[in-house]
Amino acid sequence: MIVSALQFCPAFLDVERNLETLTGHLRDRVSDVAILPELCTTGYFFHDAEQLERVAETADGPSVTRFRDLAAERDMVIVAGFAERDGDAIYNSAVTAFPDGRSEVYRKVHLFAEEKAIFTPGDGGFPVYDWGDRLRLGVMICYDWRFPEAARTLALKGAQVIAHPSNLVAAPRLWKPVMRARSFENKVFTVTANRNGEERRGEERLVFHGCSQIVAPNGTTLIELEEFDTGWISAEIDPATADNKAFSAWNNIFTDRRPDQYGN
Ligand code: ACM
């Protein structure tokens, strides 16, 4: 199975243009699973809630519809971040679109910085999706990396691959080794699709550091991009290798766990 991550710079607030760009990238790449960055249809550094309102969409809006159509056309699973409107709430979400027309939405649980002022935190937990018997896929978004519980919860629920759509502003020297650890400590593949470029708000400037990576269950980086690269990385993987949680002849990192000793 080929899994891929796209690194690019979205046009701020220009959903139509971003969907065209993403459609081009998705039609360019042969892959089984394609992971796009957080908020890849809108950009990130909203000035206020009203600006976010203007680009937020429901889970059957034009962006999700386009990803569902492309998943069917390209016969691939697509994971893509978007701003999701549901009633009065707006979530920082990621859709997972399957080739058979099914789609699922994860709403970011751990909101970062000023996201707290404009998004509603997700309360749907960390779901794992079955793609027939081919793959069990978990999703977490960006700042969820800072919480071992996110990847651990997904792995305990059986995820073999964790998709990690991101708009990381932290230095890659911080999050890259942590995501390798998330793979190693759970024996799962992790795929971080981070955006690049910068966005400005008056005098303020946010820089997104790219460096997308795909990591194997033993913590080894299979492939990675540089900060300013635009395009895809892909790796051929066997998801079933993530089902083996043995660490030695005597040890299994899941059955050795002692939740009764952890206290919370
Ligand atoms: C982030 O969670 N977008 C930093």
At 97-147, the pLDDT tens digits run 999 999 999 999 999 999 999 999 999 999 999 999 999 999 999 999 999
Question: Annotated catalytic residue: which of 40, 57, 84, 108?
Answer: 108
In this prediction, the residues of the chain whose per-residue pLDDT falls under 50 are none
The pair of three-digit structure tokens given for residue 173, joined into one six-digit string: 């020297």
Q: What is the pLDDT of residue 175?
A: 98
Nearest atom, ligand 1, residue 112 CA? 2
Domain that holds residue 201: 2-261
Residue type, 181: A
Q: What is the pLDDT of residue 16?
A: 98
Q: What is the pLDDT of residue 240?
A: 98
The model carries a pTM of 0.98
Q: What is the CATH number of the domain that holds 39?
A: 3.60.110.10
Q: What is the pLDDT of residue 258?
A: 98
Q: What is the pLDDT of residue 145?
A: 98
Alpha carbon of residue 133 to chain centroid: 21
Mutate-to-test residue for ligand 1 from 111, 166, 175, 178, highest number of ligand atoms within 8 A of CB: 166
Nearest atom, ligand 1, residue 167 CA? 3
Q: What is the pLDDT of residue 264?
A: 78
Residue 157 known to be catalytic: no
Provide the domain count of the chain.
Answer: 1
The pair of three-digit structure tokens given for residue 251, joined into one six-digit string: 């040890």
Q: What is the pLDDT of residue 177?
A: 98
Cβ-Cβ contacts under 8 Å for 75 (sequence gap 6 or more): 99
